[in-house]
């Protein structure tokens, strides 16, 4: 059965002018009726213009250390600088970890923000800041309060091409052990939650859930059910004065197209890729997730998140980095190279970050009450200095924005907040930074917190 949330909005075309969403007035929005809200969001969607940019976000859940990945400090004391050396890249002046040799060859395709910070070391508060732009949660109150910024985007852009889900999470949406965590749409509408593949893309023969008809339901029977529902609803539509059913029709049709069309099934089918291409990305879950993400944006999905978990390295930092970083290196470099070869670089913004970084000074391996036998030194929580990688979609490559001090403890120059990342993303996607929604109490809430576009990247 196709289910549509009545709080969702559809696309309307009744003469509402561009930017009418803003012209309703923030003070009066809470009192407007449902049809006006629906029409206003449609008008806001028009501000996306002709851009067809998509986003692929690598989410490093748990918090990766900036000093071990993209902001190494070889001159710092041993307990700060870590275990690896920086290497030069093909972008002048940019150095990254020696465990990233493949990215070093394509650094001209991405830029690094080394001065990102939100100054919070709580996993949940930090994750909520990065993914939604707002605080309000913590380790003792972890429930999501605000919508994921990607859900806000796709609620007005939809998919870039028909027959594709606009917002996809590979293999699932998760932040700090919560699912869908802070990737949920909240008051933007549950229909804008991510479509989760829920399978390991590296495992052959697995099928993505919700793209196949039940065995007992043929296409003819499905079409008959749809026709019957339309007949059943006709009387109610005749007396509907609020425009709700028109909105439902659009969501229902999108869901039906997803199940009955070929576009999504073809995009999710990695078996059509050559063995050579699959090997380039790496025959592991992270690499194949990146390859699947490329296929999805190529087919028309607007926002894809890739969950790369396990970065909470309070101990055994050496083992963790030597396991994870080569896989990240292969996945990210293959994606940038593949997008360039396909002429898609300007159409896809690639991002990589986590909820926070790790303490510049390493611990003794027994942090958090763990016995010393837990292993080698690690790093703890740190939100005062962190990184974000951005490239493609019109973002210039080979740039370094901001810097940290000699020990990487704090931002030295050009501080960047999570909201600045979000404003830059909206700019790349062609979405109005003035976009707003009504929360569950009917209060108008801007999609973005105050911030600025990172102009050095555009």
Q: Which long-range contacts does 70-76 make (Cβ < 8 Å, 24+ apart)? A: 70/96, 70/97, 70/112, 70/114, 70/387, 70/389, 71/112, 71/114, 71/385, 71/387, 71/404, 71/408, 72/96, 72/97, 73/360, 73/406, 73/407, 73/408, 75/406, 76/360, 76/406, 76/407, 76/408
- Please tell me the predicted confidence (pLDDT) of residue 373: 43
Which tokens is 436 given? 């707003």
- Arithmetic mean of pLDDT over the chain: 84
- Please tell me the predicted confidence (pLDDT) of residue 384: 98
- Please tell me the predicted confidence (pLDDT) of residue 5: 33
Rounded alpha-carbon distances, angstroms, from residue 307 to 100, 117, 324, 329, 356 = 19, 21, 13, 15, 15
User: pLDDT per residue over 55-89, tens digit each?
Assistant: 999 999 999 999 999 999 999 999 999 899 999 99
- Please tell me the predicted confidence (pLDDT) of residue 242: 44
At a CB cut-off of 8 Å and minimum separation 6, what does 79 contact?
361, 362, 377
Kindly list the domain boundaries of the chain, sorted by start residue.
Answer: 54-212+263-457
Q: Are 151 and 188 in contact (CB under 8 A)?
A: yes
- φ, ψ of residue 391 to 5 degrees: the values are -165, 150
What is the rounded distance in angstroms from the CA atom of residue 376 to the CA atom of residue 378? Answer: 7
Q: Which sign does the torsion angle of CA 210, 214, 215, 218 carry?
A: negative
What is the rounded distance in angstroms from the CA atom of residue 62 to the CA atom of residue 356? Answer: 8
- Please tell me the predicted confidence (pLDDT) of residue 372: 41
Q: Are 417 and 134 in contact (CB under 8 A)?
A: no
Q: Is 277 helix (H, G, I), strand (E, B) or coil?
A: helix
What is the rounded distance in angstroms from the CA atom of residue 150 to the CA atom of residue 128? Answer: 13
Classify domain 54-212+263-457 at the CATH superfamily level: Alkaline Phosphatase, subunit A (3.40.720.10)
Exposure string of 168-194, with b = 16+ CB inside 10 Å and e = fewer, is bbbbbbbbbebebbbbbbbbbbebbbb
Low-confidence ranges of the chain (pLDDT < 50): 1-37, 40, 213-217, 219, 222, 225-226, 228, 232, 235-236, 239-249, 367, 369-373
Q: Is 386 helix (H, G, I), strand (E, B) or coil?
A: strand
Rg (CA), the chain: 23
Rounded-to-5 percentages of helix, strand, coil across the chain? 40, 15, 45
């Amino acid at each position: 059965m196709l289910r549509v949330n009545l709080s969702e909005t559809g696309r309307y075309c009744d003469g509402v002018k561009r930017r009418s969403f803003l012209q309703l007035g923030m003070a009066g929005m809470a009192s407007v009726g449902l049809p006006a809200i629906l029409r206003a969001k449609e008008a806001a969607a028009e501000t996306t213009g002709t851009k067809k940019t998509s986003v692929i976000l690598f989410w490093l859940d748990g918090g990766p250390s900036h000093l071990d990945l993209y902001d190494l400090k070889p001159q710092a004391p041993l307990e700060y600088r870590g275990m690896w050396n920086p290497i030069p890249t093909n972008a002048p002046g940019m150095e990254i970890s020696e465990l990233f040799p493949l990215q070093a060859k394509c650094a001209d395709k991405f830029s690094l923000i080394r001065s990102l910070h939100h100054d919070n070391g709580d996993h949940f508060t930090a994750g909520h800041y990065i993914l939604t732009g707002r605080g309000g949660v913590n380790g003792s109150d972890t429930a999501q309060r605000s919508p994921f910024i990607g859900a806000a985007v796709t609620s007005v852009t939809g998919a870039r091409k028909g027959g594709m889900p606009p917002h996809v999470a590979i293999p699932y949406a998760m932040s700090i052990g919560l699912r869908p965590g802070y990737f949920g749409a909240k008051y933007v509408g549950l229909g804008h939650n991510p479509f989760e593949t829920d399978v390991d893309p590296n495992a052959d023969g697995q099928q993505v859930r919700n793209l196949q008809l039940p065995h007992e339901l043929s296409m003819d029977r499905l079409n008959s059910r749809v026709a019957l529902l339309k007949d059943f609803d006709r009387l109610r539509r005749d007396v509907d004065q609020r425009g709700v059913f028109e909105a439902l029709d659009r969501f229902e049709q999108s869901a039906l197209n997803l199940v009955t069309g070929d576009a999504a099934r073809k995009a999710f089918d990695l078996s059509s890729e050559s063995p050579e291409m699959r090997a380039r990305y790496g025959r592991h879950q992270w690499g194949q997730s990146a390859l699947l993400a490329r296929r999805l944006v190529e087919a028309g999905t607007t926002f894809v998140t890739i969950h790369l978990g396990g970065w909470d390295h309070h101990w055994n930092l050496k083992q963790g980095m030597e396991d994870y970083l080569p896989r990240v290196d292969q996945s990210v470099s293959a994606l940038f190279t593949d997008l360039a070869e396909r002429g898609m670089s300007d159409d896809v913004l690639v991002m990589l970050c986590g909820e926070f970084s790790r303490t510049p000074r390493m611990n003794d391996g027994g942090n958090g009450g763990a016995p010393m036998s837990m292993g080698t030194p690690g790093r703890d929580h740190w939100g005062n200095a962190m990184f974000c990688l951005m490239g493609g979609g019109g973002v210039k490559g080979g740039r370094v924005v901001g810097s940290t001090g000699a020990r990487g403890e704090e931002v030295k120059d050009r501080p960047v907040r999570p909201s600045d990342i979000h404003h830059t993303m909206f700019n790349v996607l062609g979405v109005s930074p003035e976009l707003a929604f009504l929360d569950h109490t009917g209060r108008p809430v801007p999609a973005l917190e105050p911030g600025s576009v990172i102009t050095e990247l555009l």
